[in-house]
Amino acid sequence: MPDSSAIDAGLVALLQADAQLASLMPDGVYMDIAPPGLQRYVIVSLVIAEDRATFEGRAIEDCLYLVKAVMLTTSGATGIKEAAARIDALLEDRPVVADGYHWMGGYREERVRYVEIDETDSTIRWQHRGGRYRVQMTPTPTSTLTTKG
Amino acid sequence: MILTGRDGQVLWDPAGVTPGTPVLIVSINNFKLSLKRNMIDVSCFGDVNRVYVPGLKDVSGSVAGFWNSEDTALVEAADMDTPGLLKLVPHAAEPTYFWSGLAYMDADIDTSVDGAPALSGTFSGGGPWVREPIVP
């Protein structure tokens, strides 16, 4: 059975490889938490992942990811709107490549947009914009059969 | 022995001969076999309750899973006018325990926007069925 983390890595790699998104959010793409000190970046978090089985083994990994651009408002930069739109263009019905899996489908389920007040400096605002994206992957037949021996 | 239901098997041979060479249908995650007998009411005057005698045993059921374009055996079976050989194994680790026999199949495909296309079908006996192993 393939490593489910390959789906996370494939999603992050897809976002990292896009020059347009990189120009809008130049500090990078990260799983869960970005390193301190960054001001414009993309966060990918796994919200929930459900497996669906057949008699041969795991057949579908149905994952919901939160994917959002995060930007420090006081940086003076713009682009949160464009970054969210670019994330959507990259993930809506676009294949994610992951070792040991075939991509089945991907689409946005919910839009996300909110402003966060910085915990240490209440004059600082963080903008968050993106969405919750469903990514459905199926292990390749070889991967499934290997597990079952 | 009680085992998990995760490792069942549904096998099919469209040639419809026994013992045949049934082949695993992939992407199936459920089967149900009904062996109910119809009961004939033979209640008479004076009986204190209804009395029945068993009639013929039914052989029917269903299979279900996901549509997989790499294995279209089930939908092809639905097009057949002659019965194929169906074999149902509750657990792959005990392959000598199974039910099999000739059956007519049909198929349903259920596709929704937020899920994987589901494939299911029902079957009806098309000839004699056996249960293996036969335990006296």
Averaged in consecutive runs of 10 residues, what is the pLDDT profile of chain B (136 residues)? 90 93 96 96 97 96 96 96 97 95 97 92 96 79
pLDDT at residue A78, rounded to an integer: 81
ipTM here: 0.83
Provide the domain limits for residue B64: 5-132
| CATH code of the domain covering residue B61 | 2.40.30
The chain A residues in contact with chain B (CB within 8 A) are 52-57, 59-60, 104, 134, 136, 141, 148
| Cα separation, A54 vs A44, whole angstroms | 29
Tell me how far CA of residue B91 lies from CA of A55, B73, B88, in angstroms. Answer: 9, 21, 9
With CB atoms and an 8 Å threshold, state whether A134 touches B28: no
Domain of residue A46: give its range: 5-148
pTM for the full predicted model: 0.83
Domain count, chain B: 1
Distance CA(B83)–CA(A8), nearest Å, equals 46
A36: domain CATH number is 3.30.2000.30
Residue A77 confidence (pLDDT): 67
Q: Which pLDDT does position A146 carry in this prediction?
A: 39
Report the gap between the CA of B4 and the closest CA in chain A (Å): 10
Distance (Å) of CA A124 to CA A35, A114, B57, B67: 18, 14, 76, 51
**SS3 letters across chain A:** CCCCHHHHHHHHHHHHCCHHHHHHCCCCEEECCCCCCCCEEEEEEEEEEEEEEECCEEEEEEEEEEEEEEEEHHHCCCCHHHHHHHHHHHHCCCCCCCCCEEEEEEEEEEEEEEEEECCCCCCCEEEEEEEEEEEEEEECHHHHHHHHC
Per the CB < 8 Å rule, is B27 touching A134?
no
Q: Which of A63-67, A118-122, A129-133, B68-72 has the lowest mean pLDDT?
A: A118-122
Nearest to A101 by CA among A138, A133, A65: A138
Q: How many domains does chain A have?
A: 1
Backbone angles phi, psi at B87, to 5 degrees: -130, 130
Instruction: Tell me the shortest Cα–Cα distance from B126 to chain A, in angstroms.
Output: 25
Q: B126 — contact with chain A (CB < 8 Å)?
A: no
Query: Residues A49-100: pLDDT tens digits?
Result: 999 999 999 999 999 999 999 999 875 668 999 999 999 999 999 999 999 9
Question: What is the pLDDT at residue B49?
Answer: 98
Q: Check residue A76 and give its pLDDT.
A: 64
Q: What pLDDT, on a 0 to 100 scale, did the predictor assign at position A145?
A: 41
Chain B contacts of A136, Cβ < 8 Å?
116
Cα distance between the two ends of chain A: 11
Q: Residue A141: what pLDDT?
A: 73
